Chains A and B, each alone.
Chain A
């Protein structure tokens, strides 16, 4: 059964710092991996999707990498801003490309 773990559970950094969020999964035979952002009391916003054949994806100040063989992904946030404060969730499909298995998330606070 696929399990997803995110470390750390919470992170507080000063504004302007570069940071890395970690995600690991137990079954390396994944179809893709998705990173989401969730603001308090809100739904999820998709940030990046990495297909299994890809090594990384970039969107603005965000860069996500994928190492299937080791069962790991990282989300790199450059030059963090207070507006980046949110919970970041990592997810992979149960099988194929359908429902997702989620980690518990990393709660990020960026202090001005």
Chain B
């Protein structure tokens, strides 16, 4: 089945720890995105990548880092510099250059800081 997978589904972080959220897609999409969702809020863009080995900051990139070494993978690291990381994290992909404008989303990772 084609789609986007995110792992883990739930993640708990202690103060001062870095954690990495996984996002993998087998849709052959060029572009991948990370969004953050807080209760009662819309999604906000953290980082996005339109091509392998290239990525751009979104509105709330501080305290986060990403890499795009493979087309299928776009992991997000939440660093200790992110002061309020408790949120629901959603990964998405699309392929505008391939005529696929629709963004497809993964099931999300819920991160809680203990």
Chain A residues at the B interface, C-beta cutoff of 8 Å: 4, 31-32, 34, 36, 41-46, 49, 51, 89, 91, 94, 96-105
Closest 10 CB pairs of A and B: A102-B42, A43-B105, A44-B105, A97-B96, A104-B42, A102-B43, A43-B107, A99-B45, A99-B48, A43-B108
15 contacts between A and B (CB under 8 A): A34-B102, A42-B107, A43-B4, A43-B90, A43-B107, A44-B43, A45-B105, A46-B102, A46-B103, A89-B42, A98-B50, A99-B58, A100-B33, A101-B45, A103-B42
Nearest neighbor of A42 in chain B, beta-carbon distance: B107
Among A46, A91, A100, A101, contact of B104 (Cβ-Cβ < 8 Å): A46
- CB distance A34 to B108 under 8 Å? no
Interface status of B1 (Cβ within 8 A of chain A): no
A49 near B42 (CB under 8 angstroms)? no
CA A32 to CA B102, docked complex, whole Å: 9
Nearest residue, chain B, Cβ from A48: B102
* B110 in the interface (beta carbon within 8 A): yes
**Within the complex, what minimum Cβ distance (angstroms) separates B66 from chain A?**
13
Give the residues from 15 to 42 in chain B that come closer than 8 angstroms, CB to CB, to chain A: 31, 33, 35, 40-42
Which residues of chain B from 53 to 102 have any CB-CB distance to chain A below 8 Å in the complex? 58, 88, 90, 92, 96, 101-102
Given A44-B90, A99-B48, A49 contacting B101 (CB threshold 8 A) = yes
- Between B35, B50, B106, the greatest number of chain A beta carbons within 10 A of the residue's beta carbon is seen for B35
In contact, B43 and A100 (Cβ under 8 angstroms): yes
Contact of B106 among A43, A89, A101 (CB under 8 A): A43
Give the Cβ gap from A36 to chain B, nearest Cβ, in Å.
8
